[in-house]
Chains A and B, each alone.
Chain A
Amino acid sequence: GAVVSQHPSRVICKSGTSVKIECRSLDFQATTMFWYRQFPKQSLMLMATSNEGSKATYEQGVEKDKFLINHASLTLSTLTVTSAHPEDSSFYICSARTSGGFTGELFFGEGSRLTVL
């Protein structure tokens, strides 16, 4: 089946640094990818919808200057957490659909656990 790869799976960084997380669709083209964050015992919260070749669409309350999303190709989207702070520590997950519209199955990356010291 379709596979979405996310890297790195775990990252620890100092406060004030920037961290980049990559999300790749390995065997299909994903015109749209999604980025979520998940705090312990809470649901996945959609942060932004990443569209290939155009600007990402951010959900209300998500700072676009802090969470930079780039979707330069049909198989790669990146999320950069700029000037990370301890409150940004979370589980970040990307996902991609195998087809357009709302009926394609959604496949998730393995997630990236960010810890900001």
Chain B
Amino acid sequence: RKEVEQDPGPFNVPEGATVAFNCTYSNSASQSFFWYRQDCRKEPKLLMSVYSSGNEDGRFTAQLNRASQYISLLIRDSKLSDSATYLCVVNDYKLSFGAGTTVTVRA
């Protein structure tokens, strides 16, 4: 089993829609998690940190389910600019990256 697994997508959604996707992790002792956004051919940029049960920042909500070992990211009222690949990162003794979930928001 991979350390971090994500649904690669792509998730194609219209503007204004809500889109959500999960990331599962294998190490039950993992303590902190991140969602990064990566645009094509660019470096990843931090979107949100998740240390406890969850976090919310504007249209973005991250939730952590320790029992089932997954974190989720929900994007409300999708904008065209939300189109990107979203990387799940699990923070153990090293950072483990998921392969990313591609989201495409269409007009």
| Chain A residues in the interface with B (C-beta under 8 A) | 6, 34, 36, 41-46, 49, 91, 93, 102-103, 105-111, 113
Q: Which single residue of chain B is at the shortest CB-CB distance from A46?
A: B94
Chain A residues lying within 8 Å of B94, measured Cβ to Cβ, are 46, 49
- CA distance in complex: A49, B87 (Å): 20
Say yes or no: A44 contacts B87, CB within 8 Å: yes
Say yes or no: A111 contacts B97, CB within 8 Å: no
Q: 17 A-B Cβ contacts within 8 A?
A: A36-B97, A41-B8, A42-B99, A43-B4, A43-B87, A43-B97, A43-B98, A44-B87, A45-B97, A46-B96, A49-B94, A91-B41, A93-B43, A105-B46, A106-B95, A107-B46, A108-B45
- CA distance in complex: A46, B4 (Å): 13
B12-52 contacts to A (CB < 8 Å): 31-32, 34, 41-46, 49
The 4 closest A-B pairs by CB, nearest first: A108-B43, A43-B99, A43-B97, A44-B97
How many residues belonging to B are interface residues under a CB distance threshold of 8 Å? Answer: 24
Given A34-B95, A103-B32, A105-B49, answer yes or no on A111-B100 (Cβ-Cβ < 8 Å).
no
- CA distance in complex: A91, B42 (Å): 9
- CA distance in complex: A6, B44 (Å): 13
Chain A residues lying within 8 Å of B44, measured Cβ to Cβ, are 44, 93, 108
Say yes or no: A113 contacts B41, CB within 8 Å: yes
Question: Is B91 part of the binding interface, using a Cβ–Cβ cutoff of 8 Å?
Answer: yes
Chain B residues lying within 8 Å of A41, measured Cβ to Cβ, are 8, 99
